[in-house]
Amino acid sequence: MFSSDSERKEKIEDRLKETQKVFGYVFDKFTILNIYKLFTDKTLGRFEFPIASGKESLVFAASNDDKFYAVKIYKTVASTFKNIERYAGQRWGIENTRNKRKFIVQWAHREYRNLELASASGVIAPRPIKVIGNVLVMQYVGTKRIPAPLMKDCDITENILTQTLHSIRTLYTKAQLVHGDLSEYNFLVYRKRPYMIDIAQAIQTNDKMALILLRRDIEIMTKFFNKFGYKLLEDKILKYTVGESNVFR
Ligand SMILES: Nc1ncnc2c1ncn2[C@@H]1O[C@H](COP(=O)(O)OP(=O)(O)OP(=O)(O)O)[C@@H](O)[C@H]1O
Ligand SMILES: [Mg+2]
């Protein structure tokens, strides 16, 4: 044997220390280990650049050979868990637990599963690649130099508008999900396509809250689109989204 178990362990600990230096004190050991696993199983080759840092997550661009990925790291030590607290313990398979980390891990897995359902149904959304603990790897949206902008910073053409509403409809009718936190902040626009993101909190259409959340999603999107001079009506869009009508105006 070339390396004994203890030598191997030492090596891993050295690498961990190195990684810890790179990430400063942002991540706990659990997070670093999950990242480390994504490198040792060859899902990722290197980090490229940070994309966004919020209260609940950090998103990085990473690569493997020539392929880019987005890595969303759910903070296990965040001070607030706005979304998670909002939905905690109520429904959707996240049972109440005092263990915050377990919670966050479930949240990351929910996002993976919802991205999977969305993509498989034909919704334009990042394809999920892998989730380990609190770290989710998905399709990266953007160029190798800059990540795609949020919809809030884009001009809304008829084409983008149509695709966005069609995606919300497909999410409802095919994936049987309601996003629940839609806004111009949760779509990326890349190559004239709107990518739906941030989908961990999505709920099933048969949930008793589904219609309330769907109405809110539609209200927010309609208000945003109408700022560009469109005269969309929420009721028409609602009927279109649930599949009761084939036109949204
Ligand atoms: N697949 C992706 N490709 C490129 N950029 C992405 C991708 N996913 C997320 N981002 C970027 O990371 C940001 C945060 O992602 P997301 O909205 O999923 O996380 P969040 O923690 O809910 O953040 P927030 O609380 O700001 O909504 C996005 O606004 C977007 O700029
Ligand atoms: Mg978001």
Domain ranges across the chain: 11-139, 151-241
Beta-sheet strand order (sheet of 67-74): 46-53, 57-64, 67-74, 135-139, 128-132
Return the ligand number nearest the Cα of 182. 2
Q: List, by residue number, the catalytic residues.
A: 181, 198
User: What distance in angstroms lies between residue 186's CA and the mean position of ligand 1's atoms?
Assistant: 7
User: What distance in angstroms lies between residue 166's CA and the mean position of ligand 1's atoms?
Assistant: 21
Pick the atom of ligand 1 nearest to 142's CA.
4
User: What distance in angstroms lies between residue 105's CA and the mean position of ligand 1's atoms?
Assistant: 17
CB of 52 closer than 6 angstroms to any ligand 1 atom: yes
What architecture does CATH give domain 11-139?
A: 2-Layer Sandwich (3.30)
Residues whose Cβ atom is located within 5 A of ion ligand 2: 186, 198
Instruction: Indicate the burial class of 93 (C-beta count within 10 angstroms; 0-12, 13-18, 19 or more).
Output: exposed
pTM of the entire predicted model: 0.88
**Which pLDDT score is estimated for 168?**
98
Q: Which residues pair with 244 in a beta bridge?
A: none
CATH superfamily of the 151-241 domain: Transferase(Phosphotransferase) domain 1 (1.10.510.10)
Atom 18 (ligand 1): residue with closest C-alpha?
198
Pick the atom of ligand 1 nearest to 111's CA.
18
CB of 194 closer than 6 angstroms to any ligand 1 atom: no
**Which pLDDT score is estimated for 92?**
45
**Which pLDDT score is estimated for 101?**
86
Name the token pair of 233.
């009506």
**Which pLDDT score is estimated for 48?**
95
Per-residue model confidence as pLDDT tens for the chain (249 residues): 455 777 777 776 776 676 666 665 568 889 999 999 999 999 999 999 999 987 789 999 999 999 999 999 998 865 455 565 565 545 544 554 457 888 899 999 999 999 999 999 999 999 999 999 999 999 999 999 999 999 999 999 999 999 999 999 999 999 999 999 999 999 999 999 999 999 999 999 999 999 999 999 999 999 999 999 999 999 999 999 999 999 999
Return the ligand number nearest the Cα of 71. 1
